Chain A
Amino acid sequence: MFEATNLNRRNHQIQWLFKVLFGMMTLILIVPVALILGVLVAKGGPAISMEFLFSMPRNGLTEGGILPALIGTMWLVGVALLASVPVGIAAAIYLSEYAPDNWLTRGINLAIINLAGVPSIVHALFGVGAFVVFAGFGASILAASLTLAVMTLPVVIVATRESLQAVPMAFREACWNMGATRWQTIRIVVLPNSVSGILTGIILEVSRTAGETAPIMFTGAAMFLPFLPQGVLDQTMALSMHLFVISNSIPGMSEEFKYGTALVLISLVLLMNALSISFRVYLRGKKKW
């Protein structure tokens, strides 16, 4: 019969060694962050109450709640989605259904990678230059949201393109053979079969948009406002900005408040993300082709 030689045994020991080593490395990446999140929950949890979530800040932000920051984040995310989702979906449809394999398409792909890779503070500079000063929106929800929309556009494009491309070619061919035009095919066959994948991408974008700070610091987010925003040309508070402000410079700020704000922000972002991921997993399980 076969018997392991010394060389065999040594090779298997090496393999085992590397498996353990790399496994440990994976854990070292994940465990400390999990612990940190545990600390956030332990220290911030007691701060969370109805009053904390649903009342205005008082007394130089050290008392009361974070309501205007929560509402402001919703405004920012909402307006940013209105701007980026239609453009992003159109771009994805072009790239997946129309674009020939040429230099322009390669340029578009490179531009998307770069849009995602440009530092967030450079997006902020662009927002100040283009929306606040040049377009004359001033520091407002509109300017901040458009800056966020530009920054997160690649998220929508990439997610949508992926789900469009997951629709089998045969579906399109069958539709074309019935005499449908390109757009009819996209509208009747391609989009309905990929709509849930697109939704996954949009939820992911919400999560990204809600957490960003740098792009909104100078384009529309305020340190403190005693009122809620009434329209897109108002300034607003935002959760991420609020966390930055209170963790730095407010005297007499209680630890609990800081941890509480961080906890709310990270819960919001991670919940949206988890939702997007579980949606994706569910869809993969349901796929019929």
Chain B
Amino acid sequence: MDLDVRGQDWYVDKLVSVLVFVGGISAVVLILGIFVFITKEGVGFVFGPMEVWEFFTSPFWRPTSRTEATYGILALMVGTASVTGLAMLIAVPFSLGAAVFIGEFATGRTRETLKVLVELLAAIPSVVWGFIGLAIMNPLIIETFDVPIGLGILNSGIILGLMAAPIMTTIAEDALKAVPDGYREAAEAMGATKWQVISKVVFPAAKNGLMAAVLLGVGRGFGETMAVLMASGHSINLPTSVFDSVRALTATIAAELGEAPVGSDHYRALFTIGIFLFLITFVINLMADIVIRGGGRKR
């Protein structure tokens, strides 16, 4: 009788370890794949028919002009920056405040309920936010501020702020939770009030995590597509007030990719915007990662 089945198990074990390794590096392969594919389509454009400098500094985005098509993304960058900026003005203070309340002040059932609510808010799809911007915020802004059109920086900034806030709240709360309870107990034993503990002990210790939360929120707002497309008014504009309509980088791709023939200048220009978006979010994510790690090393 042959009792030695080790051979077969050993091979199965090896096979599985190879399989899961392939799964493991899939994320790396995919992120490289994304970079390669959008670069392949886009990079020949900025370094070919287009001047890189002109691409980034010209405010004229007229890809479908019959006489002379021009591709400049300055106005689009300003659009994205103004919407994201307003969104962060709203989202950063409120989500940090909410994170402190949920993580430090609230207890028991209140805390659990709030956490679940915040998580559900984060799940609302962006197209629904866009619809809210069009159907609910638009008339509201027209009525409140007596302006002709309610789609613009204000509308999309508020929508984007409300969208990014729950995500930032969750990450910031995690950062607060990562501060060891021993720190809090030590401070409380010295007679510190809860607020003193938070401001003097928890905040400094969680500083890096909170910064990462803000960074990731910025990245999220920056890359948001559907909500901004629907709520920003989508007209090319160097804005002068918060009621002005703007167009964002992401929204431009979403609105025009369908009309641009594969391989045309227009198509390649849209991919070039894609490269730009990819690189910026990559840098933001990398910075967030480094910030978090930097905090870990010091301790």
Contact A115 B101 (CB under 8 A): no
Q: What number of B residues sit within 8 Å (CB to CB) of A?
A: 90
- Check if B123 sits within 8 Å of A273, measured CB to CB: yes
Query: How would you classify the secondary structure of chain A's contact residues: helix, strand, loop or mixed?
Result: helix
Whether B244 is near chain A, meaning CB under 8 Å from some CB there, is no
Binds A, one of B61-69, B71-79, B113-121, B141-149: B113-121
**Which single member of B10, B12, B25 contacts A108 (CB below 8 Å)?**
B25
A92-109 Cβ-contact flags toward B at 8 Å (1 or 0): 011101110000100110
B209 contacts which chain A residues (CB < 8 A)? Answer: none
In the bound complex, do residue B126 and residue A211 qualify as a contact, i.e. CB atoms below 8 Å apart? yes
* B19 & A125 in contact (Cβ 8 Å cutoff): no
Q: Is the CB of B101 within 8 A of A244?
A: no
B136 touching A36, Cβ below 8 Å: yes
- CA–CA, A28 and B121, complex, Å: 13
A270 interface hit (Cβ, 8 Å)? yes
Stretch at the interface among B51-59, B178-186, B235-243, B253-261: B253-261
**Is there contact, CB below 8 Å, between A181 and B194?**
no
Q: Which of A111, A122, A123, A218 counts the most B-chain CB atoms under 10 A from its CB?
A: A122
Q: Does more than half of chain B's interface fall in helix, strand or loop, or is it mixed?
A: helix
B289 partner residues in chain A, CB cutoff 8 A: 110, 113
B residues in contact with A119, CB < 8 Å? 222-225, 250, 277-278, 281
Q: What interface size band does chain A fall in?
A: 35 or more
Is the CB of A56 closer than 8 A to any CB of chain B? no
Task: Name the CB-closest residue of B to A94.
Answer: B24
Q: Distance in Å from the Cβ of B16 to the closest Cβ of chain A?
A: 4
| Nearest CB of A to B236, in Å | 17
Could you tell me which A residues sit within 8 Å of B by CB distance? 11-12, 14-15, 18-19, 21-23, 25-26, 28-30, 32-33, 36, 39-40, 86-91, 93-95, 97-99, 104, 107-108, 110-115, 117-126, 128-130, 133-134, 150, 153-154, 157, 181-184, 186, 207-208, 210-214, 217-218, 240-241, 243-244, 247-248, 255, 258-259, 262, 265-266, 269-270, 273-274, 277, 281
